[in-house]
Structure 1
Amino acid sequence: MYVIVKTGGKQYRVQENDTLLIDKINAEPGKTVNLADVLFVEQNGEVFVKDSVKDAVVKAKVIEQVRGKKVLVFKYQKRKRHRKLTGHRQDYTKIQIESIIIKGKKTVSDSAKASPDKQAKEAAKAAKKETKPKAKAVPKKAKPAAKANNKKSDSGRKSSS
């Protein structure tokens, strides 16, 4: 199951327990934030969009406030002796997706749905499958070596006879 959520003018594809950097949100580390602008939900092959996901909420925990890499901006005007170097560092919030709630129901992730019994049965089936041994490869016969031409080639000169 995954969700596309919009925050800070950007869209992110998220699942439970994902960690991502989004544009800065005014929240302290350790606090929980709700991302309510859900655009798309895919659950067990079913797709929900627009009105069917208007009540969906993504709960995320703020891990830390960080700053991005410095972006250098160099302004230059030829023949004017004008050069200006400035930099910019974007502020980001690092969050971890805790849960996805649709219409008041907390969704269970796909991995949690599969019970350990089913997983054990699938592993046993995979182990039972027998692989057929491949037929022994017959080595190819070597081709006879090509005869070497010992004649010198004419280097493109015309003879003077």
Structure 2
Amino acid sequence: MKIQSQKDFFSGLMFTGVGTAFAMGATSYNVGDAARMGPGYFPLMLGIVLALLGLLVIAGSLARGDGSDGRIGAIAWRPLTLIICANLAFGVLLGGLPSIGLPAMGLVLAIYALTFIASRAGPSYSFRTTLILATLLAIGSYLVFIVGLKLQFQVWPTFIS
């Protein structure tokens, strides 16, 4: 059989692999049965469903083409790198790096850094739009996590608060 759509084939392969890994990982917990579910029941069933859906996508990529080329293009390194760096910056700024003397900068600055770094990954960049988005995300995160859920995050850098 010939692969008609590389995108579908490799997407299905990824779904199958992740689903199988989750299902295998869930077996280390008490699974139970449908009437008395254990902590491993839901991840096991979710992993099985994901793996089966992945096999279905793989079968579809082999059986028929969708009319498009279906080839995988080049890897977009710049957006990939910027998104990973944005997440790393968020983690470092939120928690700090005490081993090298970097204090925690707080939730608000971490969200602003995340938003501004990640926004550079897109094809167009607008400082004003990014500033508005970062402000809305910071306010929303504060309301949800600090006010609503009462989680103990450092909101501002130590030198401010």
Fold shared by both chains (TM-score > 0.5): no
The structure with more strand, counted as a fraction of residues: 1
In our comparison, the structure showing a higher alpha carbon Rg is 1
The structure with more helix, counted as a fraction of residues: 2
TM-score for both structures, normalised by structure 1:
0.17
